[in-house]
Amino acid sequence: MTDPRVLTLWVIYDSPADYPGKVVLRRQHATKQCVEIDPEAWVFDSVREARLAVPPGLYNLGRYDMDDPCIVEVWV
């Protein structure tokens, strides 16, 4: 997305409900009103592999206590 009012996040999940036992990378687009999750998911066997798929130049925010437990980290 090229809209400057949209923040693109890359989220790494460990064993989400739709891919148990796998690590998943998903792109999300956040605005003041909502967060839209892209339907495309990149599936890996390890967090390391998922990190290598994150676009270069992004910053790892880690995760927050209020995040879903399967979220490993968020990149912006």
In a domain, residue 1? The reply is: no
Provide the pLDDT for residue 1: 52
Instruction: Give the residue numbers spanning the domain of 64.
Output: 7-75
Provide the pLDDT for residue 33: 87
In a domain, residue 35? The reply is: yes
In a domain, residue 48? The reply is: yes
Provide the pLDDT for residue 2: 63
In a domain, residue 58? The reply is: yes
pLDDT < 50 stretches in the chain: none
Residue 25: name the closest of 76, 74, 63 by CA: 74
Provide the pLDDT for residue 19: 96
Statement: the pTM of the whole predicted model exceeds 0.95: no
**Number of domains the chain contains:** 1
In a domain, residue 2? The reply is: no
Provide the pLDDT for residue 5: 83
Contact between residue 54 and residue 73 where contact means Cβ atoms under 8 Å apart: no
In a domain, residue 37? The reply is: yes
